[in-house]
Amino acid sequence: MSDSAFDWLSAAELSKLFARRQASPVEIVDTMLKRASALQPHLNALVLVDAEGAKSAAKAAESRWQKGEPLSPFDGIPTTIKDTTNVKGWPTRLGSHSTDETPASENAAVVDRFLAGGMIILGKTTTPEFGWKALTDSPLQGTTRNPWNLAHSPGGSSGGASALTAAGVNPFNHGNDGGGSIRIPAAHTGLVGLKPSYGRIPQSPADAPFADVISQGVLARSVLDTAMALNLTAGPDPRDWRSLPAEARDYTVGLEAGVRGWRIGLSLDLGHVQADPEVRDLIVAAAKRFEDLGAHVEEVGPMFEPLQQHFEPLWIGSFATRLRQIPTQLHDKLDPGLRALAEKGLSITLADYARAYEAKSKLARDLALWHRNYDLLLAPVTPTAAPPAETLYNSESFPRWTKGAPYTLPCNLTGQPAASMPAGLTRAGLPVGLQIIGPPRADEVVLCAMRAYEGASGWTWPQPRVLEALRGL
């Protein structure tokens, strides 16, 4: 497919063009809608597109820029919302036949923040059913594919968002992360993916199952866009009593401070995870870049015991709650893997929950104490590169606790900020992600490290392998 001059620009770059009147939101939105339409038959990343609404919003944004009155630097920038998240007037299907077309009555908090900044929401992106797994396929919407290689998955559960961003549709797209669902698809598609501190961006509905481990965020192609998006979306919301207090902070300030003198720990296995040799080698090489930047990097011993026994009661218990809300006659239409886990979750007891929360608290305390001596922890994001698109999740060939999210879920339990950055390509040409984990609530520390690494890595968009894969589509 042919590329336009706008396809691979960052939101920050587009904003500058708007300010100089060298581009307009109208032409950007038109370009992105056309690109999304051309790619949809191949990627299957979108579940809803509101072209007319987007074009109308673009005209309003263009008028504001012409008057010199943009709502934010992101006024007129197009994006999408993951279909686990409510947009007023649109259905939230969650990849499930158990849902219907009833429109949401209000926006999620993150959507309100986007709209308040003048961002234009083109539509909604694919997710596995109820966001349950680290691959993106669902009974309702089918299989989403990776623009690096259409035979592979873009990861999950924000796989639609990652596929669009990596294919040049929008500078960034919304995702959320309850066990790795921003970081894993970012790793599998060569993107920047920050899971902010828990509560940094309000969660709504805050009483949904599993809400106390989910962070909202974006999948982007640049660290600056990620920081600017956090500026736009961070801050408390009365609908989420656990959202963090407002901070008088601009997350773009200090991005260029560097990491010289920082003490950084590197764990290739966290004490119990086995990554593919190619992944390990790429992570070691990526960690070396921090040494080249003046940081002290050292491998650290086992971090903690396997977390399955602590995470699973919270995780499958939440799906059991969902199952109880779904009419029995619809159970056969659920993803079989999800249904099996949800049925297993029906046996979770109050004592199981209590022990899980006790272990969750201990893990958070232990890692906070560990960070007294280390500014960052580096680790892989996933044990493997992107698996084939038709991979059966939680199967004998792809067990969830060894190949799914073993590296990412600890930070969901602790609420720490953590990010994925491109670490390079396997011999098969598939991206691998470096995970950068920061101290509790230190989003600015993680962003600074991300930017330093970005500047040293030489990773820029568009990626030649993606262009080659998309050529002819």
> Which of the residues are catalytic?
82, 157, 181
DSSP reduced 3-state for 321: helix
Fill in the amino acid letter for 319: F
Taking only Cα atoms into account, the Rg of the chain, rounded to an integer number of angstroms, comes to 21
Burial label, 186 (beta-carbon count in 10 A; 0-12, 13-18, 19+): buried
C-alpha to C-alpha distances, 163 to 150, 188, 392, nearest whole angstrom: 10, 9, 19
Which helix (H) or strand (E) segment holds residue 177: the answer is strand 172-177
CA dihedral 294, 367, 407, 321 (to 10 degrees): -150
Fill in the amino acid letter for 445: V
* Spatial CB neighbours of 303, under 8 Å, sequence gap ≥ 6: 267, 270, 271, 367, 370, 377, 410
Which helix (H) or strand (E) segment holds residue 79: the answer is strand 78-82
Q: How far apart are CA 294 and CA 296, in angstroms?
A: 7
Q: Are 162 and 188 in contact (CB under 8 A)?
A: yes
- Other C-beta atoms within 10 Å of 280: how many? 16
CA neighbor of 77 nearest in space, from 246, 235, 252, 221: 221
**Beta strands at 296-299 and 263-266: parallel, antiparallel or unpaired:** parallel
